[in-house]
Structure 1
């Protein structure tokens, strides 16, 4: 099992943050090449030792919530680990792990709330993304929530 630091360093230090939300086939391929084994381990809940540290828990969430979207873009598998990532994020918050992270790190810890198709979860997400430093994400959360309020799900899935 690789160290969670590889995920954190890659996501927050090695790559340009512009890649986080852009569709880029080369970036998707890079994530697949570097992290597909870790993703498989996360699917099997084998990264549980990472959860002892706030950054480790965040790394597991990034693997499940963000890397899935890159590795399986435009396929149902892109969203298959959303519930698993959400549970990890909920547990992190209940243990106060989110308060030990920077604002940009918190945004990715909270991202599974934004990706949920639950109206209740989006009510919580609106509160989470209203924290100082997360104003830009708050705007996107409101957009996501409006889709769920209107359709009850994300129609593109």
Structure 2
């Protein structure tokens, strides 16, 4: 019998044999905007359950922990894209991630799966967590064989970009409009720069 999180993990990561295979298959899926409706149709009920504080039992194994993280962090950004609700699961996701990291559960996941644990910290408007994120991505990179290093160098690069934004502004200016926060003049200038909105 399949664990309840297995269909989600199979949908998210596919069946690639190496991190590069998975990324080649899923990169536009992860970071594009073309699968939002599919996410809503297939997993919308689970996302709502997680956002309401449910599915604690998923935290009893590393794979379930990863599934809950996706429901709280990644899928709301798809299902509720460009709305306040896209960030509704962030706080709980951060707590769930930190609890699992204390158990070293990330080391029981595949390297490409660990990327999506660390993305929760990369999304946080907290410099200490950004610093931890970059530290963990560097460690993850160091663990990879040469054939996979370029992929993980890219993940580290994005983490360092996010870290620099939080160091500079203490928050992500590109979220200000959706979150109803007024932007400073420095932030408005920054948002005119290429690549400022990820």
Give the Cα separation in 2 of the matches to 1:104 and 1:115: 17
Give the Cα separation in 2 of the matches to 1:75 and 1:81: 13
1:6 positional shift: 1.4
Matched with 1:17 is 26
1:149 paired with 2:150, answer no
Q: Which of 1 and 2 has higher RCO (CA within 8 Å, sep 6+)?
A: 1
1:126 positional shift: 0.8
Give the Cα separation in 1 of the matches to 2:106 and 2:115: 9
Matched with 1:4 is 5
Q: TM-score scaled by structure 2? A: 0.74
Report the structure number with the largest CA radius of gyration: 2
Match of 2:37 among 29, 34, 41: 29
1:77 paired with 2:85, answer yes
Matched with 1:91 is 99
CA contact (8 A) 2:50 2:68 kept: yes
Look up the SS of the partner of 1:74 in the other structure.
Answer: coil
Look up the SS of the partner of 1:156 in the other structure.
Answer: helix
Matched with 1:67 is 75
Q: How big is the alpha-carbon RMSD for the aligned residues of Structure 1 and Structure 2?
A: 1.5
Answer with 39-48 or 109-118: which moved more: 39-48
Q: TM-score scaled by structure 1? A: 0.92
Look up the SS of the partner of 2:173 in the other structure.
Answer: coil
Give the Cα separation in 2 of the matches to 1:101 and 1:119: 25
CA contact (8 A) 2:121 2:133 kept: yes
1:107-142 CA deviation, whole Å, 9 max, x = no partner? 111111000001111111111111234332111000
Matched with 2:130 is 122
Give the Cα separation in 2 of the matches to 1:32 and 1:152: 31
Look up the SS of the partner of 2:112 in the other structure.
Answer: helix
1:43 positional shift: 1.3
